[in-house]
A and B are shown apart, each in its own frame.
Chain A
Amino acid sequence: MTLSSMKPGESATIISIQTDEALHQRLLAMGFRVGKHIELIRKARFSGPLQVRIGTTDILLRRVEAEKITVQT
């Protein structure tokens, strides 16, 4: 499933990241790597952004972007 369909409190492992180059690099720098453990902390209302945690870093990203990341629980 995709990162955007996870529910708050759930955690999963990143399986793939399918984005354009620029976003991919930014995600890498933020700690998104295949095989990493990721936790969804919360989702903003009105289809707003997601807050996720990878390691010690909390990150905000939009749902459209989160749809491009597949995870496995």
Chain B
Amino acid sequence: MKRIALLGMPNTGKSTLFNRLTGATSRVGNWPGITVELLSGKILLGNEMVEIIDLPGIYDMHGFSEDEQVVRHFLHDNVPDLALIVLNATQIERQLSLLLQLKQFNLNMIVLLNMADEARKLGITIDTEKMSAALGMPIFLLSAKYGNGYPETLLATTKALRYSTPGMPETVRSQLEQDEYIEREMALILKQTVQIPARLPDNLTSRLDQLMLHPWLGLPIFFGIMYLLFQAIFLFGQPLQGGVNELFGWLREIAIAPALGSLPDLLQGLLLDGVYNGIATVASFLPLIVFFFLFMAIVEDTGYLSRAAFLMDALMAKMGLDGRSFVMLLMGFGCNVPALMGTRVMRSRPLRLLSMLVIPFSLCSARLQVFVFISAALFSPKAAPLVLFSLYLFSFASAILTALLFKRYYPNSEPFVLELPPYRFPTLRQMLMRGWHEVYQFVHRASKFIVAGVVLVWLLTNLPPSAAPAGADTWAGILGAWLHPLFAPIGITPDLTIALIFGFVAKEIVIGSLAVIYGMSGQALSGALALQLDWVQAYSFMLFTLIYTPCLTTIATMRKESNSIGFMWFSIAWSLALAWLSSLLFYQSARALGY
């Protein structure tokens, strides 16, 4: 099958064009020569199927960034039959350099000057015919977002595919060093073909930025926007999440359970509480992910994420992070999973890993449920809100401590030189596409792992068959007893240890598991907890619950996003160690003070 690669600098509209070309058919996949996965899609062009690949944005063909290496290796091992070079027409004076570099590769290529709509508004005129003649390759004006020039692009692409690629000479890298030649050629072509008005119109972006990046108002506005975003995601997402859970519960009642009714109890339990609940867990994350990325699409596409980086950088740089990490950290307070997926905007791998190490400490809504229940059971109505507040402080403190401790092992490999794009609003189509792609990737990447994990915990808490579920005789109970010397110094009883093992799957089920362990629920469970535990133990338990691994889904996402099992284990180990140390410090000091 013939291959078409999309190439260009970051933010030129490659993904927008890719989505327009492939619709919702794209998938992620591995390629020879590179370790990261790329998005690709198959479409019918002319009368043959072709594969289109969206390559990461690059600034320079011989650059040092990870993305630039990926693109080089990709091109080296998978020479495309045609390259579509996407340039931002409004920045043609600086983007032409990449084109001239690419020209030396002797690839079969078509140049697309994207964002033609914006160029027109700015009064930039480009004589594509002349430029085409000067460069000796087909050049088209395009607006990938709105579709102007798209039919012509498709036609030209179909035509260009008929000729095969001359191939990429091995000596090309040494040729690439000829920067000077490129610069001279660039100046000449620009002078002949492009006209840029002497002063850009004082546009909307500048005026908006005067407010959004205002020395004093900028930060309050930023926090206001983050708050609204957060509220919006969870206002829409959470009821839907509840709905999905109910739907799965209902299906289980009326269809799945009766269908499995004739099976032996143990197998029935495995299928229902293991496999089926695993699938339900995956499904329950989907609404949150969709809404998160619908709104993230707005934040990213409008260019506000770069503005957040501008506003927060002074503070975050000290922690080895940047402003974009901060946005994701904040979003993690709703749900860690999409926040981890959102770190993909950071192109430096160490920066991304450090952000991923920090995000799971955000007190997400699932953990909040546990804390609300326990603090209501063990603290007076007056003290309970303070307890919750203190847990939020611990959440921030854990994140900051982790960043400070590990920042030197994850030195940012990418210079902090970001483009500040003009404000743009995404179309609904772009937003929906984004939501769909992320959900698809999540299901594709994480679901097997999650189902397997849920099944494993079910086995631990239900085997051997003779033991009462979640009781002291199950493997989980035995594990709890075995771990007792470790948990006794932090005031956590074997019963609670079993609840923590359940908590690995999801924090939502911690209270439910306590109900199974104690054989009672609701008010009765609150009463039983209050009898069994004093407040120091309860707080220690909450502290541990806050800091150790948030849930299986987070782990699965971490593994896929970091593409490293080692990193996943490291994150689990570090969070367990920090949880244990914090609880130990708290519990022993409280006891020493006579509580």
Contacts and interface: CB of A to CB of B under 8 A. Distances in A.
Given A42-B213, A55-B91, A26 B314 contact: no
A57 B313 CA distance: 20
A44 B313 CA distance: 8
Interface in A1-46: 21-23, 25-31, 33, 41-42, 44-46
Contacts of A61: 415-418
Contacts of B124: 56
Contacts of A29: 9, 59-60, 63, 94, 97-98
A6 to B, nearest CB: 16
* Chain A facing B: main interface SS: mixed
Interface stretch (B72-80, B261-269, B303-311, B387-395): B303-311
Contacts of A59: 417-420
A55 B98 contact: no
A62 B313 contact: yes
A26 B93 contact: no
Interface string A33-73: 10000000110111111010011111111100100000000
B255 interface: no
Interface in B65-98: 65, 90-91, 93-94, 97-98
B94 A31 contact: yes
B200 A48 contact: no
A25 B67 CA distance: 14
5 A-B pairs closest in CB distance: A29-B59, A48-B314, A31-B94, A46-B314, A58-B420
Contacts of A21: 64
A45 B145 CA distance: 35
Given A55-B94, A56-B90, A56-B91, 8 more contacts: A28-B60, A29-B60, A44-B311, A44-B313, A45-B215, A58-B420, A59-B419, A60-B309
A51 B420 contact: yes
B196 interface: yes
A28 B182 CA distance: 12
A60 to B, nearest CB: 5
Contacts of A47: 314
B416 A60 contact: yes
A45 B93 contact: no
B282 interface: no
A62 B318 CA distance: 12
Contacts of A60: 306, 309-310, 313, 416-420
Contacts of B97: 28-29
Contacts, number: 108
A59 to B, nearest CB: 6
Interface string B303-336: 0001001110111010000000000000000000
B533 interface: no
Contacts of B314: 44-49
Contacts of B98: 29
Contacts of B183: 33
A25 B306 CA distance: 21
Interface in B407-421: 415-421
Given A25-B63, A29-B97, A49 B415 contact: no
Nearest to B62: A25
Given A51-B213, A58-B419, A65-B415, A26 B59 contact: yes
B64 A55 contact: no
B472 interface: no
14 contacts: A30-B419, A31-B91, A31-B93, A47-B314, A49-B309, A51-B420, A54-B94, A55-B94, A58-B422, A59-B419, A60-B310, A60-B417, A60-B418, A62-B313
A51 B310 contact: yes
B213 A55 contact: no
A56 B200 contact: yes
- Among B90, B122, B416, the most chain A Cβ lie within 10 Å of the Cβ of B416
A66 B410 CA distance: 23
A44 B91 contact: no
B310 A44 contact: yes
A1 B146 CA distance: 44
A33 B180 CA distance: 12
Nearest to A57: B91
B341 to A, nearest CB: 24
A28 B93 CA distance: 12
Nearest to A63: B314
B313 A48 contact: yes
Q: Max chain B CB contacts within 10 Å: which of A22, A48, A59, A65?
A: A48
Nearest to A30: B417
